[in-house]
Amino acid sequence: MADELTEAGGKVRLYVAADLGTGAQVSLSEGQAHYLIHVMRAKAGDLVSLFNGRDGEWLAETGAVSKRGVTLSCLRQTRAQGPVPDLWLVFAPIKKTPSDYLVQKATELGAVRLQPVFTRRTIVTRINEDRLLANAVEAAEQSERLDVPEIGAPLTLEKLLAQWPAQRRLYFCDEGGDARPLAQVLAERESSPAAILTGPEGGFDPTERALLRAQVFVTPVTLGPRILRADTAALAALAIWQGSAGDWR
Amino acid sequence: MADELTEAGGKVRLYVAADLGTGAQVSLSEGQAHYLIHVMRAKAGDLVSLFNGRDGEWLAETGAVSKRGVTLSCLRQTRAQGPVPDLWLVFAPIKKTPSDYLVQKATELGAVRLQPVFTRRTIVTRINEDRLLANAVEAAEQSERLDVPEIGAPLTLEKLLAQWPAQRRLYFCDEGGDARPLAQVLAERESSPAAILTGPEGGFDPTERALLRAQVFVTPVTLGPRILRADTAALAALAIWQGSAGDWR
């Protein structure tokens, strides 16, 4: 009889690119095959869950394990692909470890797109998009999401604003001045589709703040009287949005 | 003329135990003296900010720097000690790195007490209270708090509940079942003083969930349909509470 492979938090879940459906055969990537066989010690007949962001979640059976890898057979759908709240996170890249953490947490908190933006005070000059995606995939697998957030190609703030989709409200976490509390703003108006914008360690400079405030689709918001690190601000704002306007209601 | 020493986020701020007041002389601990002199390269006459959780924030001048350390003289108060939202975080200890992160973030998010609690599925068996406190102090210094959260001595869940102050509502982040969303619960009732309770990596066991739900001061709450890691759940709940019931309003 088939065994269900389990991790600490539940069954092993893997994100795959292939189409999923009854009888579909799915070959794993080298990294996933290694994880499944050598880390989780899967054997032929073991059951795992698969998702691809399109076809819901499928229970699949591990086929024969060889040196060349492993193929899984889809048995049945266990969850249907449903709508998800339409929330983006636009963030100035920060140092490596906090950035990994930010991507993992933003994925758990349900952001559907993670968009790096370069600002004047951004210290980090290069972004490893593969690393961002790997963190997002791992967090999606563990959080039981049925999709993986898209990782946007990095843009400068000016370019981002020039090509911004006008119907998507951009909540700009503004440390200085007269911005209103995020929870209060969300209680008053329709706030989806939406995006949260957070700056780098040193915040936005005055020119950037003025530019942001001049956009009709931008609402400056505050996250209280204490100074939050860039990653804390992003996570706090995502949580408040999900609580007020997303699927935590 | 006195120079103001600045860190990335602003002036150097140090948490000290001593009383602060006009003319008060404050000797730094060995670690703080090292940081100020060797990391921040302070010289006599440089200005730093001090706070102790009681007397507000004070501008102080660095005295003569010697091998034996340094003494600071308080010049004037720059911020008065005010009331802060009365929010605790009760958390099952998690692995070292996420635990460091949790303490830092919870401090930025304004928790006034961090209370470790041992549950049946808690894997971590020892808590380094000095390390928790050091993380809390550093985060308080950087977040411009005027106080440092208290670190409670670890308790079992049963002991914690037996000695719980009945007027403090305990929001229990419950992964399973019929709990209502935290933001919705907070919108309906007076919710201060309050505490957020989060479990270990594997969650609470059924006996614990039943025990918690049997307490009149406990309200089970949900944080949405995705599975959050223990530290993410804690930070999300603290942010939502501050946004709805704390000082982010």
**Nearest-by-Cβ selection for B143 from A201, A228, A249:** A228
Cβ atoms of A125 and A99 within 8 Å: the answer is: no
pLDDT over threshold 70, residue A236:
yes
Same domain, yes or no, for A98 and A203? yes
Residue A1 lies in a domain: no
Per-residue pLDDT at A181:
95
Question: What percentage of residues in chain A have a pLDDT greater than 70?
Answer: 96
In tens, the pLDDT along B5-20 reads: 665 445 799 999 999 9
Same domain, yes or no, for B60 and B156? no
**Searching chain A, which residue's CA lies closest to the CA of residue B106?**
A232
DSSP H helices, B21-95, are: 30-34
Same domain, yes or no, for B216 and B130? yes
A222 contacts on B by Cβ (under 8 Å): 248
CA proximity to B160, closest of B109, B195, B123:
B195
ipTM associated with this complex: 0.92
Same domain, yes or no, for B63 and B156? no
Same domain, yes or no, for A93 and A207? yes
Q: Flag if B105 and A232 touch (Cβ within 8 Å).
A: yes
Per-residue pLDDT at A1:
42
Domain that holds residue A62: 6-79
Phi, then psi, of A32 in degrees rounded to 5: -70, -40
Q: Flag if B232 and A108 touch (Cβ within 8 Å).
A: yes
Amino acid at A12: V
Same domain, yes or no, for B188 and B107? yes
3-state secondary structure of B98: helix
Q: Could you tell me the CATH number of the domain that includes residue B95?
A: 3.40.1280.10
Angle, nearest 10°, between helix axes B129-143 and B96-108? 40
Question: What percentage of residues in chain B have a pLDDT greater than 90?
Answer: 79
CA distance A12 to chain B (A): 14
In tens, the pLDDT along B71-114 reads: 999 999 999 999 999 999 999 998 887 888 999 999 999 999 99
**Searching chain B, which residue's CA lies closest to the CA of residue A186?**
B243
**Searching chain A, which residue's CA lies closest to the CA of residue B98?**
A101
Residue B152 Ramachandran class (φ > 0 left, ψ -120 to 50 alpha, else beta): beta
Per-residue pLDDT at A9:
45
Same domain, yes or no, for A195 and A109? yes
| Most confident listed range (A64-78, A150-164, A182-196, B187-201) | A150-164
Per-residue pLDDT at A2:
55
A182 contacts on B by Cβ (under 8 Å): 243, 248
Q: Which residue has the tokens 């080298």?
A: A30
User: How high is the mean pLDDT of chain A?
Assistant: 92
A142 contacts on B by Cβ (under 8 Å): 227, 229
Q: Flag if B227 and A202 touch (Cβ within 8 Å).
A: no
pLDDT over threshold 80, residue A3:
no
Same domain, yes or no, for B114 and B66? no
In tens, the pLDDT along A60-87 reads: 999 988 877 899 999 999 999 999 999 9
A201 contacts on B by Cβ (under 8 Å): 8-9
In this structure, what token pair is assigned to residue B97? 């790195």
Per-residue pLDDT at A238:
98
pLDDT over threshold 80, residue B1:
no
Residue B1 lies in a domain: no
pLDDT over threshold 90, residue B212:
yes
Per-residue pLDDT at B65:
85
In tens, the pLDDT along B137-180 reads: 999 999 999 999 999 999 999 999 999 999 999 999 998 778 99
Same domain, yes or no, for A137 and A235? yes
Cβ atoms of B112 and B147 within 8 Å: the answer is: yes
Q: Could you tell me the CATH number of the domain that includes residue B60?
A: 2.40.240.20
Among candidate residues B27, B60, B79, the one where a domain is terminated: B79
Q: Flag if A202 and B243 touch (Cβ within 8 Å).
A: no
Q: Flag if B227 and A142 touch (Cβ within 8 Å).
A: yes
A236 contacts on B by Cβ (under 8 Å): 109, 235, 238-239, 242-243
B202 contacts on A by Cβ (under 8 Å): 8-9
Cβ contacts from A onto B, under 8 A? 132
Same domain, yes or no, for B28 and B97? no
B142 contacts on A by Cβ (under 8 Å): 227, 229
**Searching chain B, which residue's CA lies closest to the CA of residue A111?**
B226
**Nearest-by-Cβ selection for A105 from B142, B143, B232:** B232
**Searching chain A, which residue's CA lies closest to the CA of residue B246?**
A224
Confidence of residue A125 (pLDDT cuts 50, 70, 90): confident
**Could you give the CA distance from residue A101 to residue A132 in angstroms, rounded to a whole number?**
10
> Pick the residue with more confidence: A117 or B191?
A117
**Nearest-by-Cβ selection for A183 from B108, B227, B243:** B243
Task: Determine which of A5-9, A39-43, B114-118, B236-240 has the lowest per-residue pLDDT on average.
Answer: A5-9
Same domain, yes or no, for B150 and B177? yes
Residue B168 lies in a domain: yes
**Searching chain B, which residue's CA lies closest to the CA of residue A8?**
B202
Residue B191 lies in a domain: yes
In tens, the pLDDT along A42-67 reads: 999 999 999 999 999 999 999 988 87
Cβ atoms of A17 and A51 within 8 Å: the answer is: no
Amino acid at A116: P
A69 to each of A19, A38, A103, A138, A224, how far by Cα in Å? 19, 11, 29, 20, 51
**SS3 sequence of A173-233:** ECCCCCCEEHHHHHHHCCCCCEEEEECCCCCCCHHHHHHHHCCCCEEEEECCCCCCCHHHH
**Could you give the CA distance from residue A221 to residue A200 in angstroms, rounded to a whole number?**
16
In this structure, what token pair is assigned to residue B42? 């302070």
Among candidate residues B35, B57, B79, the one where a domain is terminated: B79
**pLDDT average, residue stretch A156-165:** 98
Cβ atoms of A239 and B236 within 8 Å: the answer is: yes
B223 contacts on A by Cβ (under 8 Å): 239, 243, 248
Task: Determine which of A142-156, A175-189, B233-247 has the lowest per-residue pLDDT on average.
Answer: A175-189
Confidence of residue A8 (pLDDT cuts 50, 70, 90): very low
Same domain, yes or no, for B75 and B91? no
Among candidate residues B79, B110, B138, the one where a domain is terminated: B79
Per-residue pLDDT at B8:
45
Q: Flag if A201 and B8 touch (Cβ within 8 Å).
A: yes
